[in-house]
Structure 1
Amino acid sequence: MATADTSETVAHNPPCTRRGSKDLPPDLRIVLLGSSVSENSGVGNFILGRAAFDSEAPPDVVERVGGRLKDRHVTIINSPQLLQTNISDHQITQTVRECVYLSDPGPHVIVLLLKHDQCSTEYQECVEKVLLSFSERVLQHAIVITTQEPTGTNDILQKIIQKCANRHFSLQRSSSPDDLLQMFDNIVQMNDRHHLDCEGLQNFSMTQQPTEIFSEGVKLNLVVCGSDGTLKSAISEQILQQTDRRSDMELHGRQISLVELPALTRLSEEEMMCQTLRCVSRCHPGVHVFLLIIPDAPLTVEDKAEVEKIHRIFSLSINKHILILIMQNSEHQTAELNKQTQSVIESFGGRHLFFGTKTQVSTLMENIEQMLEENGEGFFSTETFWEAHMKKLEEMLKKFHSLQTDIQSQGNLPKGQ
């Protein structure tokens, strides 16, 4: 991966004269898409001129970092897994929505970080699917960046570059980030300073599902959480696939919003707070049900740590709104619980459901509807989140003042006591 002082610009589009800062938006928002954490981090750090992104960060976390470059603020939204060919349609939608949310009101530039030896027909289809998930006009804002010295001509890569109006930056061995920023400015100017409009995606509902107790037009907000990203995606995919096969009459026009919470065990305390609050805030007016996914097997150290962090960050307030799904495979179907799993279920209030490849979504919905009835259609909102944390802070302050009083009283005791 090239560093900030070893890069070269190869621009296939005609150069555009740089205008004054007053002709450019004060905040340049860039979405960086790739398939490698280290590559994305390197390019993001190259643009910002500092080590802002961690090369060992979890690939499923979309991160936003900003910085002041000369006379303007630059924000980079980094998604290092969106251009992986094995990513599911649900993960694409989920991650694109996250990118759009973090670049609100919309990105000015979409960067495609590609490799010469990676570009195949399958990869081209993946790139096109991801781009169309943003907007039909996304190519007006797109640019390709490559970080490898080409060993030959790659026709697929050239086709992608051509669709991006021949905008291509080759990160090699000379020049500076200013050259790349100049190309970003050119894109902004060619679009009359307008950002990419992704409003249709922001209001997009993942799928629909009947819920008789909901009033017309109110979404059912579900959050899928757990330490195992594969299990979370499998559950999400199964819900979406079974729902898509249902008839319009059975759907009754009800909407479901399905959001995945990244594994908290891989995040710092600050990142954990940001991700959880962001997740809840995306579910307006709040989260109706948290689906905690755990395997039907002895819990791993990571599973236990994830459960502990979910309880700590959301507090006991989550117990009213959480349903534990015990993921079973086709070879192991049982209704028995081991002691560890039983303990976790009890700590979250007792609601649980065995969920396998043959489980019908209708069974899950029956459990969810029962929860909603018990909760009086209540939800876990951002207010609930902050109230819980304020309560914790008040309890800590009380303990601190009590300890301080004890220390002071001991200090006033006569010598020898």
Structure 2
Amino acid sequence: MSLADTRVIAAHNPHRRRRSKDLPLYMRIILLGSSVSENSQVGNFILGRAAFDSEAPPDVVERVGGRLKDRHLIIINSPQLLQTNISDHQITQTVRECVFLSDPGPHVIVLLLRHEQCSAEDQECVEKVLLSFSEQVYQHTMVLTTQEPTETSDILQNIIQKCANRHFSLQRSSSPDDLLQMFEDIVKMNDHLECAEAAQCFTMKQQITERLSEAVKLNLVVCGSDGMLKSSVSEQILQQTDRRSDVELHDRQISVIELPALARLSEEEVMRQTLSCVSLCHPGVHAFLLIIPDAPLNHEDKADTEKIQRIFSSRINKHIMILIKQDSEHQTEGLSEETQSVIERFGGRHHFFGPKTQVSTLMENIEQMLEGNRGEFYSTETFLEAQMKTLMKYDEIKKKINSIDTYLLSQGNEQKISLSMKKKVLTDFF
């Protein structure tokens, strides 16, 4: 059974609430905030080490494990969900990943809030984000502030009251043990939060459920190094239905997921993000939309396209559409050699995307690609098979290099392939 299949079954058959008051072996905690540095500070405080990077991209959700006293903890860190300018689409996508990483559900959700910046707009954002997880979310939620003013604002106090007056103020003299005690108290009362609605990617409102159930699912993954361009494309696709993450367009129920820029991530994080992205698309990805600018590609653009090709393998080519971003409404007469090379490398399909682009035209091109693929999609199994083939090829190259070394030594030849040359061979191969 695939990872995607497992997730769907879990969503439709939620775990029964445990009656025992015993604490779980692993306590899953989600940190929600609006600042990368502040989220990292709190995550590092809980785990007692530099587990989170304060310079990490804000759109990356990290999962890190550790121990506090005798308790195993898993921290899911989302440093952008409480930003007031975040779109409904970004909320949906980020909540979806938080639920995925905390399966079968988080035990505690920590709101990182600031006294001086807590406004009515902040309260509205907090409520929207929390209710995206579950209607029972407040039973599992607490507020954490990193400074102690002379008095607490009415708005912040309202949020704290909704969280059953659970509030922790992080001071220099604060102990992680005190915070752990609050976590354990929440777990003893409630066990984990069942996020069936969020796990199903924001099930649509009741009055349109039947209509959506008859639609054909279409999973789109937006790729590229420029986060603003990806959000722009996603929003233009979704804008016809109030920017929800699952919409109907061209008689299809459409889900849009943005893959974080891979160039700035470690190899381990690249593998986690790409696998997570494919796994969230059940039963698989129907179309990858890779955005590149209508200009010379910079270093990050090149690195991102190369990593996408390497990680997903050539099997992505039949499912990918290159989107060429243009600032003007007129298409350029010709494409640069570099841009043309990227298009050809990924199968030859491309579409110009600009401020005057009609989403319907883009969807028609995607529909043509889907017809050519006869309903096939890029599944989790496809992804894992690609990784296995890569590992097998890697082993073959290592064996060939070892054979050459053995042959030269058997001939009494002291000349050997240097380590740098071996690295170059492996790098060129991949």
Partner amino acid, structure 1, of 2:198: L
Counterpart pick for 1:293 among 276, 291, 294: 291
Give the drift of 1:154.
2.0
Question: 1:301-328 deviations in whole A, cap 9, x for unaligned?
Answer: 2111111111111121111110011122
State TM-score, norm by structure 2: 0.84
> Which secondary structure state, in structure 2, belongs to the residue aligned with residue 323 of structure 1?
strand
Counterpart for residue 370 of structure 1: 368
Counterpart pick for 1:326 among 304, 324, 327: 324
Distance 1:402-1:416 versus aligned 2 partners, 3 A rule: closer
Counterpart pick for 2:279 among 273, 278, 281: 281
C-alpha separation in 1, matches of 2:380 and 2:186: 37
| Structure 1 residue 255 corresponds to structure 2 residue 269 | no
Distance 1:27-1:399 versus aligned 2 partners, 3 A rule: closer
Give the drift of 1:157.
1.4
Counterpart for residue 187 of structure 1: 186
Structure 2 gap segments, 5+ residues each = 1-19, 206-212, 416-430
State TM-score, norm by structure 1: 0.86
Counterpart for residue 193 of structure 2: 196
C-alpha separation in 2, matches of 1:416 and 1:45: 51
C-alpha separation in 1, matches of 2:305 and 2:387: 18
Counterpart for residue 148 of structure 2: 149
Residues 222, 291 of structure 1: 8 Å contact kept? yes
Counterpart for residue 306 of structure 2: 308
Structure 1 gap segments, 5+ residues each = 1-20, 209-214
Partner amino acid, structure 2, of 1:272: V
Over aligned residue pairs, what C-alpha RMSD do you find?
A: 2.4
Give the drift of 1:114.
0.7
C-alpha separation in 2, matches of 1:49 and 1:119: 28
C-alpha separation in 2, matches of 1:399 and 1:135: 50
Counterpart for residue 94 of structure 1: 93
Question: 1:240-267 deviations in whole A, cap 9, x for unaligned?
Answer: 112559xxxx858632221111110121
Deviates more, 1:266-275 or 1:173-182: 173-182
Give the drift of 1:403.
2.2
Question: 1:336-388 deviations in whole A, cap 9, x for unaligned?
Answer: 32232222111111101011233222212211111111112111122222222
Q: How does 1:394-405 map to 2 (within 5 A)?
A: 394-405=392-403
Partner amino acid, structure 2, of 1:182: Q
Counterpart pick for 2:342 among 341, 344, 360: 344
Distance 1:402-1:202 versus aligned 2 partners, 3 A rule: same
Deviates more, 1:198-207 or 1:344-353: 198-207
Distance 1:416-1:122 versus aligned 2 partners, 3 A rule: closer
Residues 250, 363 of structure 2: 8 Å contact kept? no
Partner amino acid, structure 2, of 1:198: C
Distance 1:416-1:327 versus aligned 2 partners, 3 A rule: closer
Residues 329, 356 of structure 2: 8 Å contact kept? no
Residues 92, 202 of structure 2: 8 Å contact kept? no
Residues 124, 160 of structure 1: 8 Å contact kept? yes
Residues 220, 257 of structure 1: 8 Å contact kept? yes
Partner amino acid, structure 2, of 1:204: C
Question: 1:47-86 deviations in whole A, cap 9, x for unaligned?
Answer: 1122211111111100111123333321111000111111
Identity of matched residues, %: 75
> Which secondary structure state, in structure 1, belongs to the residue aligned with residue 228 of structure 2?
helix
| Structure 1 residue 58 corresponds to structure 2 residue 57 | yes
C-alpha separation in 1, matches of 2:132 and 2:86: 14
Deviates more, 1:231-240 or 1:168-177: 168-177
Counterpart for residue 102 of structure 2: 103
C-alpha separation in 2, matches of 1:105 and 1:172: 32
Counterpart pick for 2:409 among 383, 406, 411: 411
Counterpart for residue 43 of structure 1: 42
C-alpha separation in 1, matches of 2:202 and 2:122: 26
| Structure 1 residue 353 corresponds to structure 2 residue 383 | no
> Which secondary structure state, in structure 1, belongs to the residue aligned with residue 116 of structure 2?
helix
Counterpart for residue 126 of structure 2: 127
Counterpart for residue 14 of structure 2: none
